[in-house]
Structure 1
Amino acid sequence: MDQQTPHPGKPGAETETMVCSRCGKTSAEGAPPTWTCSMENGRCLYFCDDCARANLRAIEGRLDSSWW
Structure 2
Amino acid sequence: MSEPEQRPRTCDWCGRQESDLVRSLSWTTAVERDRPRTFCDTCSREHLRAMEGKLDSDSW
Same fold, judged at TM 0.5 (above) = yes
Q: Is the 8 A contact 1:16 1:29 kept in 2?
A: no
CA distance in 2: counterparts of 1:62 and 1:53, whole angstroms: 14
Question: What TM-score, normalized to structure 1?
Answer: 0.73
| Partner of residue 10, structure 2 | 19
More helix by share: 2
Gapped runs of 5+ residues in structure 1? 1-11
1:3-60 Cα offsets, whole Å, 9 max, x none, are xxxxxxxxx47x2211100000001245811000010011111000000000000001
CA distance in 1: counterparts of 2:18 and 2:34, whole angstroms: 23
Gapped runs of 5+ residues in structure 2? none
What value does the CA root-mean-square deviation take over the aligned residues? 1.8
Q: Percent identity?
A: 38
Which stretch of the first structure deviates more once superposed, 26-35 or 49-58?
Answer: 26-35
Question: What TM-score, normalized to structure 2?
Answer: 0.82
CA distance in 1: counterparts of 2:16 and 2:9, whole angstroms: 8
Total equivalences in the alignment = 56
Asked which structure has the greater CA Rg, the reply is 2
